[in-house]
Chain A
Amino acid sequence: MKKSLLFMAAAMCAAVVMPASNALADVNIKVVQHGPLRVLDPIFTSAYVTRNHGYMVFDTLFAMDAAGKPQPQMVDTWTESPDKLTYTFKLRSGLKFHDGAPVTSDDVIASLQRWAQRDVMGTRLMAVTDKLTAVDANTFTLQLKKPYGQVLDTFAKPGSPVPFIMPKRLADTPSSQAITEMIGSGPFKFVQGDFQPGVKASYVKFADYVPRKEPASNFAGAKVVRLDRVDVVNIADGQTAVNALRNGEIDFIENVAPDLLEQFEGVKGVTVEPKSKESNMYTLRMNWLQPPFDNVKVRRAAMAALYQQDYLDASVGDPKRYTVCGAVLSCASPYKSETGATQTKAPDLARARQLLKDSGYKGEKVVVLHSTDVRVLTNIAPITAQALRSIGMNVDMQAMDFTTLLARRTKKDPLDKGGWSIFQSSLTTLDLTNPLVNPNLDARGEAGYPGWTKDETMEGLKDQFAAETDEAKRMQIAEAIQARAVDQVMYVPLGEAIEYKAYSAKVGKLVDAQLPVFWSAK
């Protein structure tokens, strides 16, 4: 017993002075993303971390460039018939899946059909589609019932779920079941045997990937991979991730908390920079089904009391790291407009109180849901509660974890039976830039996104936007959408927090994209 104890003590001392093992010598970079990866199927779930995983493994027919325009990716050439009803797409030659099988039109069609079952833009497109037909192995046609201006934007949709292309044998899986076999045609292969849900996911360079010739631009252009392997590891604690990057134990952090950024000042070999045109927009949504926010005048009064800078100062702090923006489609959108936004300027509380008085508000309780375990949301609800109280509203802020909030916000019941009045959220601007996918502009009422905003005018505007093929007219429709959304207070943008990534020199110069993708800038 004594000898074994002494041996252990000696071994521990030796371990302290021994250098670290080279057991991980094959790993090129270690990456920490904003959350743990558990579900692999990027069509089955809209979780952002699964979407990021999807961009490693899969490819898309079209992709958004840095200007927010769809560019061909897997597609080589395409034509649109003069009556705008028939699109013919020819795939690039040499496209292969990771199992060596060639990418064919049948794979594309099956993938699009599976994806469309889960996606709002996909559903819209399929609703106006007469048929999707494979002409030959590399060519397929899309036959529309009527002209539709969003075909290429739909195929290039960057937000969850992304129209990733997978083998037909996998895409034939019902969309209500998750695929666990990860075979794509993207620039990285998934190392299935190394996957530990919530702990680690590994990707190796796909040697047979054929990048495009155009310069890399956001998700479009050439996807040239200069890394051999990317290990995505989960580090739950932000401080630990920062310390690990400073110590050289990891190489990339997707999203560094604002209060931790200054720890990189003066640290050699670590670059900190904002993500390209990508922010987190804080949003506030009111429940249209229950008083008091079933009254548009009360909604307008409440919005008049809110001030974006308060939210951003509470959640981000440094003004260099946030953007005040009143656009319902976000300032990253090519269709952005800030018409009518009031919360970008310091509020006139006297006016807000008067609006509330004029609305007929009689002191009804306002339940504000407060998420306490999501870092970006923790400080948001208290700002709302205080702002509304300052104009005389009767506010009850209720704290809960985010999973509970997700369940609670589906309740349409009155407040005294577990209902709610306001919830706040944080969405990447990728998911907000197009009115057809922005969940906060869902105006289908009780069939739609919680908040259950119902406005036929808005739905009509969205239909017009989808059908419009002229870019300038589409911009006018987007302006009208902005104006209507503000007038009816469909939701309140609370400002955009610029996200910062940090990485070591080993990572090299990656493409400046809205998400963490690991192909090079050149």
Chain B
Amino acid sequence: MLSLIIRRLFAAIPVVLIVATVVFLLLRMAPGDPARVIAGDMASEETIAQIRSNLALDQPLIKQYALAMGKMLRGDLGTSIISQQPVSKLISARLGPTAALACTAMLLTILLAIPIGVLSAWWHRRWFDRVATASTILAFSVPAFVVGYLLILVFSVQLNWLPVQGYTPLADGVGPFLYRLVLPSLTLATVFVALITRITRASMLDILGEDFVRTARAKGVPEKYVLFRHALRNAAAPIVTVIGVAITTLISGVVVTETIFNIPGVGSLIVDAVLARDYPVVQGTILFFSFIYVFVNLAIDLIYVLLDPRIRY
């Protein structure tokens, strides 16, 4: 297993370099001028040219690329063109809210989707299964921002049970931290609950038809052990794969939820940076996401080994 980890980490290096290069080029090719954004709408051309020069944006592309890559290889993600703050500091300040939102959403997803999926398969074609299936179709169909606004309308504006917006760090207390994450987590989790419920149901239906399950039942094994110890464990591989994909999709998809609920996370950081053409922040954030994807995929592969002893790398 250690050799797998080491091989994967080495393999990540060219991936990250390619991502960094592609992002660098795409950003420079996109129209827009960060110096103009900084200077404001009514700044003179001389002022803008001066700012561009100070920020080395008037240097040849190859020189800008060499500077950026050199910094990256030294672990320096650069400085925000707009706010003049280190990119690493900006990302680390925003990481907590995004991680909190993503983790609570994923936890909620797993807690809801797997039991519902398992029970849907067990009660195949009965009312529970039909209601669950219809609900997942509805959840897929409704965009996240609609779900978010509806939840706000009901639970915040009408009932005044939960806050409309904002984020409280965990350091300020577990209660307030979770209080502000309930609605955003539900919003973000909706489509993933639907997805993983359906995958769980389908995978369980496959496994429940296998001979070894029939044998276990014939031997008198209690049904809950049949479901959760025998069937679910064998059905887990595709579920874990989809959860891995969902984690990466969720991290990149938090921006809508962060905007609706005003959570100052990495998603809103990158959107603002793209609109302002803040090249170092966009590059740094995408690189950071690349590392996340590499690690999540590695973790998924390691979990396979734990779930299925037959799998060896």
Contacts and interface: CB of A to CB of B under 8 A. Distances in A.
Interface string B215-235: 000000000000000000000
Interface in B70-105: 80, 82-85, 90, 93-94
A243 interface: yes
A240 B167 CA distance: 14
A299 to B, nearest CB: 22
B40 A45 contact: yes
A39 B38 contact: yes
B36 A431 contact: no
A459 B286 CA distance: 49
A336 interface: no
B149 interface: yes
A408 B164 CA distance: 38
B83 A197 contact: yes
A198 B272 contact: yes
A47 B149 CA distance: 31
A390 interface: no
B33 A406 contact: yes
Given A45-B40, A243-B156, A403-B277, A235 B31 contact: no
B143 interface: no
Interface stretch (B131-139, B169-177, B196-204, B294-302): B169-177
A244 B165 contact: yes
A383 interface: no
B268 interface: yes
A431 B42 contact: yes
Contacts of B141: none
Of B40, B93, B259, most buried by chain A (CB within 10 Å of CB) is B40
Contacts of B149: 239
B238 interface: no
A400 B41 contact: no
A399 interface: no
B83 A39 contact: yes
Contacts of A402: 275
A407 B179 contact: no
B241 interface: no
B157 A243 contact: yes
B83 A177 contact: no
B240 interface: no
Of A36, A178, A237, A373, most buried by chain B (CB within 10 Å of CB) is A237
Contacts of B53: 176
Contacts of B173: 21, 23
B107 interface: yes
Contacts of A177: 54
Interface stretch (A7-15, A98-106, A471-479, A496-504): A7-15
Interface stretch (B3-11, B43-51, B61-69): B43-51
B237 interface: no
B269 A198 contact: yes
B148 to A, nearest CB: 9
Contact of A16 (B38, B111, B182, B261): B182
Contact of A237 (B51, B94, B260, B277): B260
A406 B111 contact: no
A309 interface: no
Contacts of B43: 45-46, 118
A196 interface: yes
Interface string A340-357: 000000000000000000
Interface string A14-44: 1110101101000000000000101100001
Contact of B164 (A198, A247, A403): A247
Given A12-B178, A240-B164, A249-B163, A38 B40 contact: no
A401 B82 CA distance: 18
A196 B39 contact: no
A329 to B, nearest CB: 16
Of B80, B111, B165, most buried by chain A (CB within 10 Å of CB) is B165
A425 B163 contact: no
A44 B149 CA distance: 38
B166 A249 contact: yes
B123 interface: no
Interface in B137-195: 149, 152, 156-157, 160-166, 168, 172-179, 182
A401 B271 CA distance: 13
A157 to B, nearest CB: 13
A180 B80 CA distance: 13
B262 interface: yes
A439 interface: yes
A236 B277 CA distance: 18
A180 B83 CA distance: 9
Nearest to B30: A404
A66 interface: no
B38 A236 contact: no
Nearest to A196: B93
Contacts of A427: 41-42
B269 A15 contact: no
B251 to A, nearest CB: 19
A75 B173 CA distance: 49
A18 B268 CA distance: 28
Contacts of B93: 196, 199
Nearest to A431: B42
Given A39-B83, A46-B39, A15 B175 contact: yes
B260 to A, nearest CB: 6
Nearest to A176: B50
B82 A197 contact: yes
B178 A249 contact: no
Interface in A199-216: 199-200
A260 interface: no
B244 interface: no
B259 A247 contact: no
B276 interface: yes
B32 A20 contact: no
A306 B262 CA distance: 39
B150 to A, nearest CB: 12
Contacts of A403: 31-33, 36-37, 275-277
Contacts of A404: 30-32
A18 B168 CA distance: 14
A377 B312 CA distance: 59
Interface in A45-102: 45-48, 50
Contacts of B163: 20, 247, 249
B264 interface: yes
Interface in A130-164: 160
A373 B272 contact: no
Nearest to B156: A247
A356 B195 CA distance: 59
A12 B183 CA distance: 12
A408 B31 CA distance: 8
B50 A240 contact: no
Interface string B236-274: 000000000000000000000001111010001100100
B112 to A, nearest CB: 11
Contact of A20 (B45, B152, B165, B179): B179
Q: Which 9 A-B pairs have the closest CB atoms?
A: A46-B40, A15-B178, A21-B176, A197-B83, A176-B50, A403-B32, A199-B264, A23-B172, A18-B175
5 contacts: A15-B174, A39-B82, A236-B262, A244-B164, A249-B166
Given A16-B182, A410-B45, 7 more contacts: A15-B182, A38-B80, A39-B84, A247-B160, A401-B275, A403-B33, A427-B42
